[in-house]
Amino acid sequence: MKRQLFALIAGMAVTLPCVCFAANEEIQVYLDDLSQPGQFGVDVHNNFVTSGDSTLPYPGGLAPLHQYRLTPEFYYGLTKTVELGAYLLTTKTSDGQTHFEGEKVRIKYIAPHDSDNGLFWGANLEVGRTNLYASPQAWNAELKGIAGYRSGRWTFAINPNVDWSLSKGGGPVTLDVDGKVAYKVTEKTQIGLETYNELGPLRHLQGLNQNSKTLYLALDHDFGQYDLNAGIGRGLTSDADNWVLKFIIGTHF
C-alpha cells in the first residue's frame, strides 16, 4: 500500500495538467514535529497555482505560469531534539518538460517541551545548491525560527525566516515571516489559516503592499500511517500568486 501511494504521487508530476505558478518548493509552517531517534520519514510536497505570470522571472529562469512542483523530502531523527533532512527539487513546465532543479539539506532542532500544551520553540538551518531554473544564485541558505503555543484545541505558530545567498554577489539578506493558527476539530483533524509573507531586505524592510503575501485556508489530518497538510491560498499583493493549491503527504518508517 505504501509503495502504491508514493508511486501514484510521483506519477502526478508527469500526468497532471499543469495550471500553476512557480510557487516555493515547500509551502509549510514549521511546528514542533520531530522524528524519533533512528526513525526515517518522507514528505512529498506538491503545489501549483491556478493563475500566474507568464513572463520569465529572470534570464534563464522558467516562466511561472503552468508550472507544477513536486519535492520529495527525506528526513531522519538523529537525537530526541535534532532531525536531519534533504530535498530534491523538480518542476514540470507548461510545455510538458520536467526539470531537476537541485537539492537542499537541513538540520532542525526542537527544544524539549510538553507536546500537548504550552510553548514550543526551535530552529531549522537549510543550505541548498540549485541550478538556474530555480535561482539565479547557485548556493543559498535559510535560517528559520520556530515558535508556537498550544492551548486546548488551539495551536499558534510563527516562523521568522532569514534568507541569504552563499554565492558571490548574491544580493541582500531578506526576511520572510510565516504563521499558522489551527483549531482541532477532532483528535485527528485540524483546520486553520496559514500566512506566508515576504518582507524584503532585512536592512530595509518594505511595505505590506509589496512583495509576495499569501493567505491559506489549511487542513491537517492524521490517517494513522500517513499525515496530510492541504490548503488553498489567495495572493494578497500584486507580486503574489492569485490562487495556490498545495498538499503535503508524509509517513514514517
Q: What is the mean pLDDT of residues 70-85?
A: 97
Q: Are 128 and 107 in contact (CB under 8 A)?
A: no
244 occurs within a structural domain: no
* Digit-coded pLDDT (tens) for 134-169: 788 889 999 999 999 999 999 999 999 999 999 988
pLDDT at position 50, please? 78
* Digit-coded pLDDT (tens) for 205-215: 998 889 999 99
Residue 232, beta-bridge partner list: 217, 245
> Using CA atoms, how far apart are residues 172 and 203, in angstroms rounded to an integer?
8
Q: Are 25 and 71 in contact (CB under 8 A)?
A: yes
* Digit-coded pLDDT (tens) for 92-132: 877 778 889 999 999 999 999 999 999 999 999 999 998 87
Count of domains forming the chain: 1
pLDDT at position 62, please? 66
75 occurs within a structural domain: yes
pLDDT at position 17, please? 33
> Using CA atoms, how far apart are residues 252 and 26, in angstroms rounded to an integer?
19
* Digit-coded pLDDT (tens) for 24-69: 889 999 999 999 999 999 999 999 877 666 676 667 666 666 778 8
243 occurs within a structural domain: no
Identify the H or E element spanning 140. strand 139-151
Q: What is the mean pLDDT of residues 202-230?
A: 94
82 occurs within a structural domain: yes
Locus of grid cell 547557485: 138
Residue-number span of the structural domain to which 71 is assigned: 2-180
236 occurs within a structural domain: no
* Digit-coded pLDDT (tens) for 174-198: 999 999 999 999 999 999 999 999 9
8 occurs within a structural domain: yes
187 occurs within a structural domain: no
Burial code (b: 16+ CB inside 10 Å, e: under 16) for 176-214 equals bebbbbbebeeeeebebebbbbbbeeeeeeeeeeebbbb
154 occurs within a structural domain: yes
Give, rounded to a whole angstrom, the gap between the first and last alpha carbons of the chain: 13
